[in-house]
Amino acid sequence: MKENTKNDFDAVNIFLFLIRWWKHLAIICIIAIIASSVFSSPHFITPKFETHATMFPASTHSISRAVLGGGGMLSTRQDFLQYGEVEDAERLLQLLNSSSISDRITERFNLMDHYEISESSRYRYTQLSRKYKSNVSFRRTSYGAVEVSVRDRDPLMAVDIAKEIIALVDTVQNDMRKERAEMAFNIASKQYYDYRDEIKQAEDSISILMRKGIYNIEGQTSMLMKQLAKDLSSGNQQGINAINNQLEILSNYGSTYVRLQNFLKASGEQLNTLQRRYNETKADLENFVSFTFVIDEPYIPERKSYPVRWLIVFISTAAAAFTGFVSLIIYENVINKGIKRLKQEK
């Protein structure tokens, strides 16, 4: 019961306090409203316009695997037109926040001058980085898309920066992939052409052996042995010598001929594999792939987004009212009582 009485007494005291000082608090609030309205005006704070763009990351599958099938098997094909997964969105965010994007945007739009950063400033690059990050931001939405937000005092500049960022996503990723694709293409190209040259050399060697009279080792050997038996039985020395010469040729070059024949028989499948790999790496090297699906293009903002004047006025007024309230309590309970005490002592 006592506690309730005390609370009522405190509430009454606060009410009476407000009645005594309401004029002062009203003046403080009015001054705060006027001051915050003035200092949040375009004369003191440059208004900025904000534009947004939304895009889904595309699958990062190789275009050669998607189109050529990565070996010709339908089950291994991957659709490079499908939306990317969460990991693709995270990689896209990492790329958007990288210096590869920010440096090109800074150079393309001359942001050092646009943000009015003096070249003589000792920390000009730090200031540039802070202003860039405060005006350009990225976030992943709850649906797995990536939103690009650009704020600038010029609405057209904000739109141009957002469009350039979207274009640079594909440019930077394709530049990075091109380096790897070029290495893979050079290796695949060398393997393909080297193997094709080996086949050509084998075919030329077989042609030379065929001109020497070698074209079917087993058949020729069987035929010559039958003819040799006939010449031996008939005593045809000239025929025996001719057959021995042919058998000697077969003996000297027969193994080479067989090896080359076996190589050519097995080379077809290997050459097809190397040619397919060559075509895949060539497709990856020569084709420009988009890594994003743009859902919402950046638009020209009609109204400024910064500063929010009503919010500045509200917070400033509330802060001034609270500060004035506390100051008056201190004045009434400490300073005023101290003055009364000094008067009584005198």
**102: CATH:** 3.30.70.1130
pTM over 0.75: no
Q: Is residue 192 part of a domain?
A: yes
Question: Is the domain of 167 the same as that of 208?
Answer: no
What span, in angstroms and rounded, lies between the C-alpha atoms of 161 and 132?
A: 11
Question: Is the domain of 58 the same as that of 172?
Answer: yes
Residue 214 burial class via C-beta count within 10 angstroms: exposed 0-12, middle 13-18, buried 19 and up: buried
What span, in angstroms and rounded, lies between the C-alpha atoms of 278 and 16?
A: 90
The predicted structure's pLDDT at residue 2: 45
Question: Is the domain of 114 the same as that of 135?
Answer: yes
Closest of 92, 103, 109 to residue 173, by C-alpha: 92
Question: Is the domain of 55 the same as that of 20?
Answer: no
Question: Is the domain of 56 the same as that of 171?
Answer: yes
Question: Is the domain of 152 the same as that of 232?
Answer: no
CB atoms within 10 A of CB 104: 16
- The first and second tokens of residue 126, run together, are 């730090």
Question: Is the domain of 69 the same as that of 104?
Answer: yes
Closest of 75, 61, 58, 62 to residue 279, by C-alpha: 62
Q: What contacts 44, CB < 8 A, 6 or more positions away? A: 38
Question: Is the domain of 81 the same as that of 143?
Answer: yes
Residues of the chain with pLDDT under 50: 1-9, 71-77
The predicted structure's pLDDT at residue 36: 80
Q: Is residue 339 part of a domain?
A: no
Give the count of domains, the chain: 3
DSSP state, 235? T
Question: Is the domain of 37 the same as that of 56?
Answer: no
Question: Is the domain of 160 the same as that of 274?
Answer: no
| Conformation bin of residue 236: beta by default, left when phi > 0, alpha when psi is -120 to 50 | beta
The predicted structure's pLDDT at residue 194: 92
Q: Which domain holds residue 4?
A: 1-45+307-323
Question: Is the domain of 67 the same as that of 19?
Answer: no
DSSP state, 306? B
